Amino acid sequence: MEFGLSQEQILLQDSVGKFLNDQVPLDKVRQIASGESSDAEVWQGLADLGIPSLLIAEEQGGVGLGSLDAVVIAECLGYHVTPSPFISSAVMAPIALMAAGRQDALAAIASGRHRVGIAFGEAIGARNDAGVVVDGTVLSGKCLFVLDADADAYLIATPEKNLYLIAADAKGVERNNLTTVDKTRTTCELILNNATSELVSDDPEVYLRTLDAGRVMQAADTLGAAQCMLDQAVAYAKQREQFNRVIASFQAVKHMCAEMVANLEPCRSMVWYAGHALDEVPEEARLIACHSKAHLSEVGKFVAKTATEVHGGMGFTDLVGLHYWFKRIGANRQLLGAPELVREEAARIQGLAV
Amino acid sequence: MDLSFGNEYKVFREEVRSFIEQYKDKQPTQVALRGEESLAWQKLLIEHGYHSRTIPKEYGGYGAEADIIKSRIIAEEFSTAQMNTGLGGQGISMLTPVLLEMGSSEQKQQFIKPTIHGEMVWCQGYSEPGAGSDLASLTTKAELDGDEWVINGQKIWTSSAHVADCIFCLVRTEPEAPKHQGISFLLFRMDTPGIEIRPLIDMTGNHNFNEVFFTDVRVPKQQIVGKRGQGWLVANAILGHERGSLAPPDAAETRLNGVIDLMQTETIAGEKLIDNPVYRDRLVKLQGRAMAMRFNDMRLLSARINKNQDVKLAGMIVKLMSTELRHEIEGLAIDVMGETGLSFEDNPYLRGNGSWQYQYMFFLGLIIGGGTSQIQKNIISERGLDMPKEPKVTK
């Protein structure tokens, strides 16, 4: 029995971490966030490491690794607030397409050349003005906060839990960027006007498995981002002096840091297990995915606030850049289901709610 | 990630299950200190290796090799079947491991067997009115007079002192040494002349704690564990045992399932509480926290088998997080019941024998006892994050 990451997973973590440290430092993130450049270069770099092909089977041109490996990557990307369409194009789209037996696009996705965005919001629960209606395979309506504004195609989920694939430049598709607080990743709206799509799957299981995986990856992204905020807060507290001593020697500050550790450390085991369960314990996977998404949203929110406070006024500035992590964690909380909604789903899975 | 235990353990689990099957109806319903039925049950558990499993046979244990997975399987199966796991208490859970590690062979021979068989009951003399979180500043002193220690001072929070045969006690033997190096660990009988016990009733109404006063209590010189001045090391070894075991994750999940049962049966204005989304959200939120602690615990278990895993922080946070979590789980049950949740003692509307209110308060006690949550945060930040200690106050 060994609960933890394998040697290979630790190596993967190290090599991706090293790449992000060297090639995608905060300055680079700032450039992309400000719109000076796109995330294409970063995505190409990650593609050279095999990241977009991680989950795709070897015979389809992928690496054929598992969900826990993807969790390890998501955690790294969160730690470095890396701009990339990882959750949509490297996790959710391949899982959906493989589960649906659709192999045609996988090789292109695996190479990183073809990006597939995710429009699941209308299946999880459409907000004001949003919603999709289907006539055969012809879609009309509006999808909001679709993951990845630069994708080549989109996987759209309908309230019936059917999945449709549509090219970004297809007739009847209008795409507009939606600016959010989290500028490290992009979202858009899709306005569909009798747009012809392809049905990928009418099996709700395919939709749910895809959603579960996306939620676990967001939990892992938050885990990484929160860990980085905690590390920064502890480092800052050890060098910032007030009243002739480093502020890390004040109990008030130490206790804030201890509370962050105490809340975050069990999350690591939870997210690892959630990743493991996606592949190996299917009967538990959905409930654990919901719990992980909701719990990491809460812990992430707490760490994001507390770590910023440890930095005092500097935490509030753009100069230190802590806000990139704060906003990333905030975005992970809302996307693919806010914690209250996901907990209600966890209750339904257990038969505690209708 | 490899969560399989292998075939050997599958077989072992079956063994445990068949024991449970055989004895389920024969177990005593309550653990009664010194009760004949309880002592017989204790003996049976030890004979089958379900209690004192790794304690050598010569000291009255079962004498199995340490196997963390087997211990876990026993705990899991007993918990699932709600089997009586036998006697606990500070002599069994805290003193025995310390004697095994640091006791003389005479001390092991003399004390371990009767202790684990429930024939010798112990209390712990650590805290003092002036030495709580700062335990090392304790002032109860022991002076050598010929072949005897002469003890004077006062202890507080002494659980079970009024029913204990013996005490393991921290005393200051080297008043000139730095505070951590002047303490010794003594064992003596509670009927020694010069000991006075006064009850300290706690907020649940129970008499568990006591104040214990020592006036010229004379104890044979050799009843010291470790050497003179080493008592702090011995005491810390025991606290390590205590912190990990206060609020195990499967107990939290069992209690949460109890809350679910309650929410499915309790109603307000004809509506089941489980159908109220506000209460339900609180429940599921706590489930998430309990789940995180369960996997944290699996990681800790794994690190005991795979020595290369670093789980320093994961271990340090357990006492803080698990006691706070239990307090909130019990508190949710009370909120679910509303006014009914206030029921106490002989109230005919009492639910679950009053365990929810009792545990709610009891876990507040555990949040404070065994190193308060605030002390835990000092430990996490200083030893876990390498943050500097608070500067000493200069007078």
Reported as a pLDDT band with limits 50, 70 and 90, residue B249 is confident
Q: Do the Cβ atoms of A344 and B293 come within 8 Å?
A: no
Residues in chain A within 8 Å Cβ distance of B280: 344, 347, 352-353
- B22 with B142, same domain: the answer is no
Q: How many contacts, defined by CB atoms under 8 Å, are there between A and B? A: 163
Element (H, E) at A111: helix A106-111
Segment B43-74, tens digit of pLDDT: 999 999 999 999 999 999 999 988 888 888 89
Burial of A6: CB neighbours in 10 Å, binned 0-12, 13-18, 19+: middle
Residue A197 lies in a domain: yes
Query: Do B361 and B254 fall into the same domain?
Result: yes
Per-residue pLDDT of A97-109, as tens digits, reads: 999 999 999 999 9
Both B152 and B189 in one domain: the answer is yes
B283-304: pLDDT as tens digits:
999 999 999 999 999 999 899 8
Decide which of B87, B106, B133 is a domain's last residue: B87
Count of Cβ atoms closer than 10 Å to residue A270 Cβ? 27
Element (H, E) at B241: helix B231-245
Is residue B240, in this structure, part of any structural domain at all? no
Confidence band of B133 (pLDDT split at 50, 70, 90): confident
Residue A244 and residue A162 share a domain: no
**Does residue B330 sit in the same domain as residue B305?**
yes
Contact criterion met (CB < 8 Å) for A276 and B306: no
Is there a domain that residue A53 lies in?
A: yes
Q: Which residues of B touch A346 (CB under 8 A)?
A: 284, 287-288
- Same domain? A209 vs A188: no
Contact call for A352 and B309, based on CB within 8 A: no
Q: Does B220 map to a domain?
A: yes
Query: Residue B385 is nearest to which of A234, A246, A280, comparing CB atoms?
Result: A234
Same domain, A194 and A329: no
pLDDT of residue B395: 59
Q: Which helix (H) or strand (E) holds A46?
A: helix A40-48
Of A3, A262, A340, the CB nearest to B317: A262
A67/A46 Cα distance (integer angstroms): 17
Total domains present in chain B: 3
Closest CB from B5, B283, B321 relative to A262: B321
Say yes or no: B359 and B251 in one domain.
yes
Owning domain of residue A128: 117-202
Active-site entry in B15, B148, B242, B253: B242
pLDDT at residue B246, rounded to an integer: 53
- Residue B68, domain member (yes or no): yes
Block residue for tokens 């030495």:
B131
B301 neighbourhood in chain A, CB within 8 Å: 1, 3
Weakest mean pLDDT among A180-189, B73-82, B362-371: B73-82
Query: Pick from A184, A202, A220: which residue ends a domain?
Result: A202
Please report the beta strands in B156-284, taking only residues with DSSP state E, as ranges in sequence order: 166-172, 183-189, 195-201, 207-220, 224-225, 267-268, 271-272
B249-to-A7, B72, B254, B302, B310 alpha-carbon distances in Å: 28, 12, 9, 15, 20
Q: Are residues B223 and B152 in the same domain?
A: yes
Question: CB of A187 within 8 A of CB of A261?
Answer: no
A219: pLDDT strictly greater than 80: yes
- Smallest Cα–Cα separation from A237: which of A301, A299, A302, A309? A309
Per-residue pLDDT at B240: 55
Instruction: Provide the domain count of chain A.
Output: 3
User: Closest residue of A to B7, CA-based?
Assistant: A1
Tokens of B364: 């507040």
Partner-chain residue, chosen from B5, B284, B303, that has the shortest CB–CB distance to A347: B284
Write the pLDDT tens digit of every residue in A1-47.
899 999 999 999 999 999 999 999 999 999 999 999 999 999 999 99
**Residue B182 sits in which domain range?**
122-229
Residue A300 lies in a domain: yes
Strand partners, A2: B2
Residues of A in contact with B381 (CB under 8 A): 248, 254-255, 257-258, 261
Residue A2: which of B306, B321, B391 has the nearest Cβ? B306
Q: How far is A343 from chain B (nearest CA, A)?
A: 6
Are B224 and B321 in the same domain? no
Mutation site, A232, A254, A257, A299, interface B, largest B CB count within 10 A: A254
Contact A188, A227 (CB under 8 A): no
In a domain, residue A2? The reply is no
Long-range contacts of A233-242 (CB under 8 A, 24+ apart): A233/A257, A233/A260, A233/A306, A233/A307, A233/A310, A233/A311, A234/A310, A234/B385, A234/B387, A236/A310, A236/A311, A236/A314, A237/A310, A237/B387, A238/B387, A238/B388, A240/A312
B296, A259: Cβ pair inside 8 Å? no
A1 vs B69: CB contact, 8 Å cut-off?
yes
- Are A228 and A192 in a shared domain? no
- For chain A, report the end-to-end CA distance as a whole number of angstroms: 37
pLDDT at position B259 is 97
For residues B277 and B200, membership in a common domain is answered with no
| A354 in any annotated domain | no
In terms of domains, do B368 and B276 share one?
Answer: yes
Mean pLDDT of chain B: 92
A263 and A344 in a common domain? yes
In a domain, B379, yes or no: yes
For residue A215, the model assigns a pLDDT of: 98
Rounded to 5 degrees, φ, ψ at A151 are -75, 160
Query: In this predicted model, what pLDDT tens digit does every residue of B88-105 receive, in sequence order?
Result: 889 998 899 999 989 999
Give the C-alpha separation, A158 to B45, whole Å: 58
- Of the candidates A160, A184, A202, which is a domain's last residue? A202
Query: In this structure, is residue B99 part of a structural domain?
Result: no
Give the CATH number of the domain where residue B325 resides.
1.20.140.10
A104 and A121 both lie in a single domain:
no
Tally of CB atoms within 10 A around A226: 30
The C-alpha of B387 sits at a distance from chain A's nearest C-alpha, in angstroms, of 6
Chain-chain contact of A346 with B378 (C-beta, under 8 angstroms): no
Residue B110 is assigned to a structural domain of this protein: no
**Which residues in chain A are closer than 8 Å to B321, comparing Cβ atoms?**
262-263, 266
Which residues in chain B have Cβ-Cβ distances shorter than 8 Å to A353? Answer: 274-275, 277, 280
- Burial profile A9-28: b = 16 or more Cβ within 10 angstroms, e = fewer: beebbeebbebbeeebeeeb
Q: How many CB atoms lie within 10 A of CB B225?
A: 22
**Are B390 and A269 in contact (CB < 8 Å)?**
no
DSSP code at position B317: T
**In B, which residues are within 8 Å of A262 by CB distance?**
317, 320-321, 376-377, 380
Sign of the C-alpha dihedral computed for residues A79, A83, A84 and A85 taken in this order: positive
pLDDT (tens digit, 9 = 90+) per residue, B167-206? 999 999 999 999 999 999 999 999 999 999 999 999 999 9
Phi, psi of B371 (to 5 degrees): 95, 105
Q: Which helix (H) or strand (E) holds B304?
A: helix B277-305
ipTM of predicted assembly, 2 dp: 0.96
Whether A262 and B287 lie within 8 Å, measured CB to CB:
no
Looking at A177, A202, A227, the residue that finishes a domain is: A202
pLDDT for B171 equals 98
Q: Which of B64, B87, B110 is the last residue of a domain?
A: B87
pLDDT in the model for residue B251: 85
Q: Give me the percent of chain B exceeding a pLDDT of 90.
A: 78
Average pLDDT over residues A132-136: 95
Q: What residues of B are in contact with residue A288 (Cβ under 8 Å)?
A: 291
Distance CA B166, CA B163 (A): 9
For residues B281 and B308, membership in a common domain is answered with yes
Q: Which of A249, A280, A344 sits opposite B390 (nearest CB)?
A: A249
Does A166 lie in the same domain as A99? Answer: no
Rounded Cα–Cα distance for residues B98 and B106 (Å): 14
Q: Is the pLDDT of residue B242 over 90?
A: no
Contacts of A263 in chain B (CB under 8 A): 321
Residue B391 forms part of a structural domain: no
Question: Across all residues in chain A, what is the average pLDDT?
Answer: 97
Domain with residue B200: its CATH number is 2.40.110.10
Name the band, by pLDDT with cuts 50, 70 and 90, for residue B316.
very high
Cα R_g (chain A), whole angstroms: 20
Tell me how close the Cα of A341 comes to any Cα of chain B, in angstroms: 9
Structure tokens at A162: 């059917």
User: Is residue A308 in a domain?
Assistant: yes
A3, A234, A353 ranked by CB distance to B387: nearest: A234
Chain B residues in contact with A254 by the CB 8 A cut-off are 377-378, 381-382, 385, 387
| Min distance B271 CA to chain A CA atoms (Å) | 13
Same domain, A238 and A326: yes
- B186 and B251 share one domain: no
Please indicate, yes or no, whether residues B365 and B303 belong to a single structural domain of this protein. Answer: yes
Tell me the pLDDT tens digit for each residue of B197-238.
999 999 999 999 999 999 999 999 999 999 999 999 998 876
| Single residue among B60, B87, B114 that ends a domain in this structure | B87
Look at B393 and B262; give whichever has higher pLDDT. B262
Looking at the structure, do residues A322 and A341 belong to the same domain, yes or no?
yes
| A276 and A306 assigned to the same domain | yes
DSSP B86: -
Look up residue B189 and give its two tokens.
Answer: 């009988």
> Are A198 and A275 in the same domain?
no
| B354 token code pair | 């009053």
Residue A1 lies in a domain: no
8 A C-beta contact, residue B66 and residue B57:
no
CATH number for the domain spanning A183: value is 2.40.110.10
Give yes or no for residue A314 having a pLDDT over 50.
yes
Is residue A62 over pLDDT 50? yes
At B137-158, the pLDDT tens digits run 999 999 999 999 999 999 999 9
- B69, B309, B323, B387: best mutation site toward chain A, by most A Cβ within 10 Å? B387
pLDDT score for B247: 56
- State the amino acid at position A61 in one-letter form: G
Are A269 and B280 inside 8 Å of each other by CB? no
Residues A243 and A330 in one domain: yes
For residue B377, the distance in angstroms to the closest alpha carbon of chain A comes to 5
The Cα A83–Cα A29 span in angstroms is 7
Q: Do A261 and B385 touch (CB under 8 A)?
A: yes
Is A258's CB within 8 Å of B380's CB?
yes
| pLDDT at residue B4 tops 90 | no
Q: Is residue A344 situated within a structural domain?
A: yes
Distance CA A29, CA A19 (A): 14
Q: What is the pLDDT of residue B239?
A: 59
Q: Does the active-site annotation cover B8? A: no
